Structure 1
Amino acid sequence: MDQLPHSLDNPIWTALSTEQAHLGLGNALACRYHPEVAPFAAMESETPQAWLALGRLLPSGHQVALLSPQPPSPPDSLRAQPVGVIHQMVATGPEPGGADDPDVIPLRHADANDMFDLAHKTKPGPFCKRTHEMGNYIGIRVGGRLIAMAGERMHPAGHVEISAVCVDDAWRGKGIAARLVQRLQRDIQQRGESPFLHVLSDNRNAIALYERLGFALRQTFFLSLIGLAEQGPDLA
């Protein structure tokens, strides 16, 4: 169950202020993940001083992804590009039961290139060269080829985000994504933490799957790309 809802009100900030501070850059006003880890950034609160601090974390030509309860209002030195509405969903049911799935294997640093390739082929969301360092990742290989994976991304204290749920097109429709999500959900809950996830509001198939697995909407965010006002659209 969702026992620490305050940790999820500003999940990127909370994660980078607690369990994942070692993966981030910034100060007490604004922070971001290292560009090779994830494109997400956050501010402690939306103040002029925090916007200025966030701008200092943006090299020319780079953007970061920001979650906010309302559309952001950056100063003239920055620009915001709307991406969509994000549903934040939390696990509401008991720990999934069942025996271990022998096909599901842990993914390690040696699997990083295959994970990156699968994510860029299936596009579950942002996945960078070092995203696998954010938490535990699991997957399924067939004939040595990685055909599905899922893992842990943001880690605000008390919660763990399930992310990068992706299945090769040739293996979709076989219940693999549900198997991976339930395995992660069980592992997270056995550690005494609460699983949650983020999904774009127009991804109805994914939302329906997560609802069947016992996840419920907690709140919505606006997802925006933030960059310097004079720069191009590259994301890093």
Structure 2
Amino acid sequence: MTAEIPARRVQDALDNPFWSSLRSLHRGIALQAGDVSRYPAEYAPFLGVAEEGQRVEAELEALVAPAESVYLIGVAPEPPPGWRLDAFRPLAQMIRATPLPVADGPEILPLGEAHRADVLALTALVYPHYFRARTMDMGRYFGIYQDGRLAAMIGERLGTGECREMSAICTHPDFHGRGYAGRLTAMLTNDTLARGALPFLHVSHENPRALGLYERLGFRHRRDIGFWSLRRG
């Protein structure tokens, strides 16, 4: 895929990534009630709705437990009475439509069940809140080990057949400055493109280190996208 402007259907998926992913790539694990769908809590605390501002009280009550919080990107419903919808600062959604040079460096390994404890320990340290016990089952994960330790990792999370999100891009603080995150991001970008999908990612504007890395790699800022938490009372 080399077109700089994604096709309309890809843009629609990127504008509502939780809903799009739950209705396609992750349909097999999705919990569904009408126009609302969510991931099981052990995968991710994410929920999607079909359209902005929908009134879906019964559907939400069927999927979200009392006192539970879920997160939404791009599209949010009308919060029912007794529910709390809080807006965070929008995230930067970035895409890359052409391959990247991959810097030389240590071997990149596929991560599987044997590495799960290391992945959970690293994400708990530097990528808390959204990584759960079965998040690794949402896609492929890759890492770099140094001195017997998981030094850096990257994975796949959301997506459809035509676009794929890169996520959990993180480096242990003891290994900062070695270019591992850039090497992993370039590798997975190129692999995603070779598979015929558009790579995309989300990054907080409050994380200038990561934002600067993706800009230097040549990722294009597609849009700022809304990000909310929704809590049932």
TM-score (norm: length of structure 1) = 0.88
Opposite residue 45 of structure 2, the aligned amino acid is P
Three-state SS of the structure 1 residue aligned to 2:31 is strand
| Offset from partner CA, 1:140-170 (integer Å, 9 cap, x none) | 1112211110110101331000000110101
C-alpha distance in 1 between matches for 2:171 and 2:113: 20
Of residues 122-131 and 104-113 in structure 1, the stretch that sits farther from structure 2 once superposed is: 122-131
1:48–1:187 distance in 2 versus 1, CA, 3 Å: closer
Following superposition, the deviation at residue 222 of structure 1 comes to: 2.1
Residue aligning to 2:14: 8
Q: Choose which of 11, 22, 28 in structure 2 pairs with 1:22.
A: 28
Q: 1:138 aligns with which of 138, 142, 146?
A: 142
Conserved? CA contact 2:54–2:78, under 8 Å: no
CA distance in 1, matches of 2:212, 2:128: 16
Shift, 1:28, TM fit:
3.4
1:207 partnered with 2:211: yes
Q: CA separation of 1:209/1:97 partners in 2, compared to 1, >3 Å: closer, same or farther?
A: closer
Structure 1 portions without partners, runs of 5+: 230-236
Query: Aligned letter for 1:90?
Result: I
Matches within 5 A, 1:38-187: 38-68=44-74, 73-92=78-97, 94-98=98-102, 103-123=107-127, 126-187=130-191
Give structure 2 stretches of 5+ with no counterpart: none
User: Could you tell me whether the CA contact under 8 Å between 1:28 and 1:44 is conserved in 2?
Assistant: no
Measured after TM superposition, the shift of residue 122 of structure 1 is 1.1
Q: 1:63 to 1:164 in 2, by over 3 A?
A: same
The 10-residue stretch of structure 1 (154-163 or 76-85) with the greater mean CA deviation from structure 2: 76-85
- For 1:172 and 1:33, the matched residues in 2 are separated by 32
Aligned amino acid, residue 201 of structure 2:
L
Q: Would you say the 8 A contact 2:55–2:80 is kept in 1? A: no
SS at match of 2:52: coil
1:38-70 Cα deviation digits (max 9, x unpaired) = 11111011355434312321112211001135x
Question: 2-side partners of 1:183 and 1:141: how far apart?
Answer: 16
CA RMSD, Structure 1 to Structure 2 (Å): 2.0
Letter in 2 for 1:126: Y
Percent identity between matched residues is 34
Is the CA contact (8 Å cut-off) linking 1:124 and 1:165 kept in structure 2? no
CA distance in 1, matches of 2:185, 2:194: 14
One-letter amino acid of the structure 2 residue matched with residue 41 of structure 1: L
* Distance in 1, Cα, partners of 2:161 & 2:196: 11
Distance 1:102 1:207 in 2: 23
Q: Is the 8 A contact 1:23 1:33 kept in 2?
A: yes
Is the alpha carbon distance of 1:182 and 1:211 closer, same or farther for their aligned partners in structure 2, counting shifts above 3 Å? same
TM-score normalized by the length of structure 2: 0.90
Question: More deviation in 98-107 or 50-59?
Answer: 98-107
Letter in 2 for 1:89: M
List 4+ stretches of structure 1 deviating above 6 A: none
- 1:33 has 2:43 as partner: no
